[in-house]
Each structure stands twice: as C-alpha cells, then as structure tokens.
C-alpha cells in the first residue's frame, strides 16, 4: 500500500485509486456476512433435530384421563374422601373487591389430636391442610374429576349491590339541620 501511495502524486485525481481502496466502493457495499447459526443446531444431525421437534410438541389426549393411579395419593384418600369447592371469605386485611371471585378446593378434615408436649393440634393426614385456588368453579370441578375425587360445591353466591355514593351526601345533614331550624310562619 505504501508503494502505491508513493507512486501516485498527491494532486492527481485518479478514479481507479478511489474505487479500489475506498470503503464506499461497490465491492464493500455488496459484501454480506454469513448468518449466525446456533452451535447446538449446527452440531446436531438431521435425525436428532427431527427427534427434538417431536419432543417439543404438545401431546393431546382425546379422552378424559383418570390421574388417580399415577398421582401418588393413597387409594383410601381417593375413594373415601370428599372435596369441598367453595368461594373463600375475603381476607380481613383486604379492603377492595379485586381478586375476591376465586374458588378454592380443600379436603374434609380427618382425625386430629392435641400434642401433649406443646399443646399443638396434630394430624396424620397430609391432605387436610391442602388448599388449592382456582379462577373458576369449572376448573376446580375438572381438577377433582381428573384426580378421581368425590366433590361437592358449597357456596352461597351473594351478589353485592353497589351503593351509589355522591360527594353531596356528606352535606345532607347540614342541609337537613338548616331546613329544620328555619321558622316557617303558618
């Protein structure tokens, strides 16, 4: 490069020099980089890629499946127990009405005893303290049927009337008091 620059005079405006060494020449404009390929994809064979695609897909089962044999829950808990589906009471620390339409599921309580050492309430039942929340009643029922549990819905669906509150209601007592204090001549 130094030899070429020494042989070309400084004042000359030769086009061939500008086109061959300029970064804005057509040669550099059309140059493209290779696409970036993930190394795990590049190193796997075609059969491995097909197997990974098969495993990544969803498995659809055309019929309802009873999960009770494979869930790990003992049979006496599945056959004899009943599940209560209900709308839980609002938390005392909760003042709003958002997120109060959830449904919950819990098992009936079994034998409990008082621990003689500390006086705590003890139980040998692992499912008595389990509580699962759902967005709707249908989801809870479907979950119980899928696991083979007997269930019942315990609810009093109470729709609250929304009271209309205006800012002017705060001043009704003052207006009523002023109205009663006025002497009305007969």
Q: What's the CATH number where 96 sits?
A: 3.30.160
For 84, the domain range is 75-153
Specify the range with the lowest mean pLDDT, choosing from 21-30, 70-79, 150-159. 21-30
Amino acid 8: pLDDT:
54
Residue % of the chain over a pLDDT of 70: 70
Over residues 174-185, the pLDDT tens digits come to 656 666 666 555
Over residues 34-68, the pLDDT tens digits come to 788 888 777 888 899 888 888 888 777 777 777 77
Q: Is residue 8 part of a domain?
A: no
The count of domains in the chain is 1
Q: Is residue 97 part of a domain?
A: yes
Q: Which residues on adjacent β-strands are paired with residue 105?
A: 85, 132
Q: Is residue 17 part of a domain?
A: no
Q: What angle do CA 74, 79, 84 make, to 5 degrees?
A: 100
Residue 131 sits at φ, ψ, to 5 deg, of -135, 125
Q: Is residue 23 part of a domain?
A: no
Higher pLDDT, 30 or 43: 43
Q: Is residue 90 part of a domain?
A: yes
0.85 exceeded by the pTM?
A: no
Q: Is residue 123 part of a domain?
A: yes
Q: Is residue 119 part of a domain?
A: yes
Q: Is residue 49 part of a domain?
A: no
CB-based burial, 124-163: b 16+ in 10 Å, e otherwise: eeebbeeeeebeebeebbebbeeeebebeeeeeeeeeeee
Over residues 129-157, the pLDDT tens digits come to 889 999 999 999 999 988 888 999 997 76
101: pLDDT strictly greater than 90: no
């Amino acid at each position: 490069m130094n030899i070429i620059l020494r042989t070309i005079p400084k004042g000359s405006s030769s086009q061939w020099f500008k086109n061959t060494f300029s970064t804005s020449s057509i040669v550099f404009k059309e140059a493209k980089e290779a696409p970036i390929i993930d190394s795990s994809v590049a190193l796997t064979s075609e059969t491995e890629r097909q197997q990974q695609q098969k495993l990544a897909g969803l498995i659809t089962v055309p019929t309802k499946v009873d999960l009770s044999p494979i869930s790990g829950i003992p049979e006496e808990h599945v056959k004899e127990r009943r599940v209560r589906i209900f709308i839980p009471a609002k938390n005392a620390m909760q003042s709003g009405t958002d997120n109060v339409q959830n449904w919950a599921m819990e098992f009936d309580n079994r034998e409990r005893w008082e621990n003689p050492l500390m006086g705590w309430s003890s139980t040998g039942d692992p499912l008595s303290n389990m509580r699962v929340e759902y967005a709707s009643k249908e989801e809870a029922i479907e979950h119980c049927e899928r696991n083979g549990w007997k269930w019942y819905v315990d609810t009093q669906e109470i729709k609250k009337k929304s009271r209309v509150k205006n800012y002017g209601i705060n001043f009704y007592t003052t207006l009523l008091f002023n109205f009663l204090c006025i002497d009305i001549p007969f």
